[in-house]
Structure 1
Amino acid sequence: MKFVSWNVNGLRAAIRKGFLDYFHEIDADFFAVQEIKLQEGQIDLELEGYHQFWNYAERKGYAGTAVFTKHEPLNAYYNFDHETVQPEGRLITLEYENFYFVTIYTPNSQRTLERLPIRLEWEEQFYDYIKKLDKIKPVILCGDLNVAHQEIDLRNYKSNHGNSGFTKEEREKMTRLLDNGFTDTLRYFYPQEEGLYTWWSYMKTVRERNIGWRIDYFIVSDRLRDNLRTANIHADIYGSDHCPIYLEIIDI
């Protein structure tokens, strides 16, 4: 199965910039998008052969997630409690016979770290939720996690220590997850490779010089490691300040 995740920074804008060309070319089984920035009824997306699942933020033009999949799930959930809808549209869980597929858009701590407490509360809820799912069946998790885990995951790590997305607290939450039954799939294949980034500032020539951060991830339950075939970053695909990430898994 082929999986893609992409923070599109506004789906309607991304479509104007060639999103659908990439979508059809990659022909993924699961295609998750974050930061769709739209409300129900603001887009009519015809994707033949795909089931569509949307979680819109209550606030207009903000956050939100969606999943397009060839495989109809047993259930779809839109919050940690499986009963309500997440008000910022940050979570979608699709349940299948042998696994859960989860996409998330983790809250940003903001440049001044004013939302760091909210972020850390989210991290606690998220960790408990993923661990709960993992006890039932394996999890395939993807999305914009808004953290560069290690120094290798951003170009200018020395000047960014303590900044939003690279605080000790945020990085420790990621470490906890990976130390307790989960695998960062890209680092599974490329443990020491530098320059693998998924987000770049819109400042002039930043992306061309690859001055970026890796904040988008595919993370899976450890027991799926033997099923991993490949994990990649498609940095040559434009249309957002993030690029798509790709995962292929066999025999699930």
Structure 2
Amino acid sequence: MKFISWNVNGLRAIVKKDFTKTFQELAADFFCIQETKMQAGQLDLQLPGYHQYFDYAERKGYAGTAIFTKHEPLSVQYGIQSPEFDHEGRAITLEYPNFYLVTSYVPNSGAKLKRLDFRLAWDQAFQHYLAQLDQQKPVILCGDLNVAHQEIDLKNPQSNHHNAGFTDEERQSFTTFLNQGFVDTFRHFYPDKTDIYSWWSYRFHARDRNAGWRIDYFITSQRLTPDLTDAKILTDVFGSDHCPVELLTEPL
């Protein structure tokens, strides 16, 4: 099975580029989107053969997530069952017989870390939510998780220390999450791989220089590890300041 996750930085904008062509070429079973930046009724996206699910932010043109899937789920849940966090369109959960699929656009801590406390509170609530799912059946989590976990996950760790996405607090929170029984699938297959990233600033020709961050992930419950076949970062796919990430598995 093929899973794709992509922060598109505006779904309406990327549809005007080559999104539909890329979508068809990738031919995923599950195609997860973050940062749709839209409300219901603002886009009529024709994707034959796919069920479409959207979680919209209350604030217009902000955040938002979506999942397009060939496989109709048993149930769909929007948000993380926490009123404090469920107004920004940041998570969708699809239930299948043998697993849950969750896509998320994790809050950014922002300039001068003005949202760091909000972000860490989100992490705690989100990890609790995922742990509850994991008690029922294995979880596949994907999305823009807005953290570079280790120094090898960004080009310039020293100069970015204490910046949003690479604070000690965010990194420790991510470590705590993995230690609860979850696997960073890319590092499972490529534990020492360097210089491969999923996001580059639009400033200073960062993508041309490959001065990026790996902040987009597929995370799975540890007990799914025998079913994983590969994890990829599709750095040759353009259209956003992020590139897609991919997970390949045996049939689940």
- TM-score norm. by structure 1 comes to 0.98
Deviation of the 1:81 alpha carbon: 2.2
Per the alignment, residue 46 of structure 1 pairs with 46
Q: Does residue 121 of structure 2 align to residue 121 of structure 1?
A: yes
Per the alignment, residue 209 of structure 1 pairs with 209
Per the alignment, residue 135 of structure 2 pairs with 135
Between the aligned residues of both structures, percent identity stands at 59
Deviation of the 1:85 alpha carbon: 9.0
- TM-score norm. by structure 2 comes to 0.98
Instruction: State the secondary structure of the residue aligned to 2:202.
Output: coil
Structure 1 segment 71-150 matched on structure 2, within 5 A: 71-81=71-81, 86-150=86-150
Could you tell me whether the CA contact under 8 Å between 1:144 and 1:215 is conserved in 2? yes
Per the alignment, residue 61 of structure 1 pairs with 61
Per the alignment, residue 15 of structure 2 pairs with 15
Per the alignment, residue 156 of structure 1 pairs with 156
Deviation of the 1:190 alpha carbon: 0.5
Could you tell me whether the CA contact under 8 Å between 1:227 and 1:250 is conserved in 2? yes
Per the alignment, residue 70 of structure 1 pairs with 70
Count of paired positions:
252
Per the alignment, residue 219 of structure 2 pairs with 219
Deviation of the 1:83 alpha carbon: 9.6
Which amino acid is the alignment partner of residue 133 of structure 1? Answer: L
Instruction: State the secondary structure of the residue aligned to 1:112.
Output: helix
Give the whole-Å Cα distance in 2 for the aligned partners of 1:83 and 1:161: 32
Could you tell me whether the CA contact under 8 Å between 2:82 and 2:125 is conserved in 1? no
Could you tell me whether the CA contact under 8 Å between 1:90 and 1:106 is conserved in 2? yes
Q: Does residue 27 of structure 2 align to residue 27 of structure 1?
A: yes
Which amino acid is the alignment partner of residue 74 of structure 1? Answer: L
Instruction: State the secondary structure of the residue aligned to 1:155.
Output: coil
Instruction: State the secondary structure of the residue aligned to 1:162.
Output: coil
Give the whole-Å Cα distance in 2 for the aligned partners of 1:111 and 1:84: 21
Could you tell me whether the CA contact under 8 Å between 2:85 and 2:122 is conserved in 1? no
Give the whole-Å Cα distance in 2 for the aligned partners of 1:206 and 1:13: 21
Could you tell me whether the CA contact under 8 Å between 2:34 and 2:144 is conserved in 1? yes
Could you tell me whether the CA contact under 8 Å between 2:55 and 2:79 is conserved in 1? no
Moved more, 19-28 or 77-86: 77-86
User: Structure 2: which 5+ residue stretches go unaligned?
Assistant: none
Which amino acid is the alignment partner of residue 182 of structure 1? Answer: F
Instruction: State the secondary structure of the residue aligned to 2:203.
Output: coil
Give the whole-Å Cα distance in 2 for the aligned partners of 1:246 and 1:135: 25
Could you tell me whether the CA contact under 8 Å between 1:78 and 1:84 is conserved in 2? no
User: Structure 1: which 5+ residue stretches go unaligned?
Assistant: none
Deviation of the 1:216 alpha carbon: 0.4
Give the whole-Å Cα distance in 2 for the aligned partners of 1:204 and 1:122: 31
Deviation of the 1:82 alpha carbon: 8.7
Per the alignment, residue 178 of structure 1 pairs with 178
